[in-house]
Amino acid sequence: MIKNWYTHYYDTDELGQEMNSMATFNDLHRALLDGGDVYMVIGVRDSLVRERLFEELAILLGVSYEDVYNMWLNN
């Protein structure tokens, strides 16, 4: 789950507690591919949180951060 990962690595960020506890990185990836609202998946509207999640998603997918960011921009 995204929230578990985020609150583990960014334990001082209070926004982590507001995140969608059911969302997965797969859900985030699917939203990027389908042109969905990534902020709805994440559960908070914060660009720093989004960037951190995009960085981890890039690692999980074996692509660059720019590839993930461009998926978001182009949808």
Distance CA 44, CA 67 (A): 22
- What pTM was estimated for this model as a whole? 0.94
57 — pLDDT class (breaks 50, 70, 90): very high
* Contact yes or no for 10/16 (Cβ under 8 A): yes
Task: State the average pLDDT over residues 2-11.
Answer: 97
Rounded-to-integer distance, Cα 56 and Cα 52, Å: 6
Mean pLDDT calculated for residue range 36-62: 97
| Residue 21 confidence (pLDDT) above 90 | yes
pLDDT, residue 75, reads 78
